[in-house]
Amino acid sequence: MGRRGRGRVLTRHADKAQWMRDHRFAWLEIATYPAAYSAATATHGIRGGAPSNKIARYYGPAGAFETRTETTDQGTTVHARYIGGPVT
């Protein structure tokens, strides 16, 4: 296999964001990323702080979601939950 697609995590962010909106304050596992920097990029996008991040569009407005990460044998697992409007 070439470099393209290797280690790529495919996640249906639109479905996960909608589930969290329907289940406010409930934590949901988003994905496990093999590289910590990929998990950091995802958490930044979910919190809405990265307009150039491709997944940020599903998790607006900025501050409406919280994230946490967990280190596992497979990499870094990202969890998120919907908390409502922007955090002030």
Token pair in block for residue 42: 């995802």
Q: Which residues lie below 8 Å from residue 72, measured CB to CB, with a gap of 6+? A: 32
Q: From first to last of the 88 residues of the chain, give the pLDDT tens digit.
A: 344 455 567 889 999 999 999 999 999 999 999 999 999 999 999 998 667 778 888 998 888 999 999 999 999 999 999 999 755 5
Residue 69: C-alpha distances to residues 2, 6, 54, 63, 78 (Å)? 29, 22, 19, 17, 5
- Identity at 54, one-letter amino acid code: K
Alpha helices by DSSP H, the chain: 13-22, 36-46
What pTM was estimated for this model as a whole? 0.83
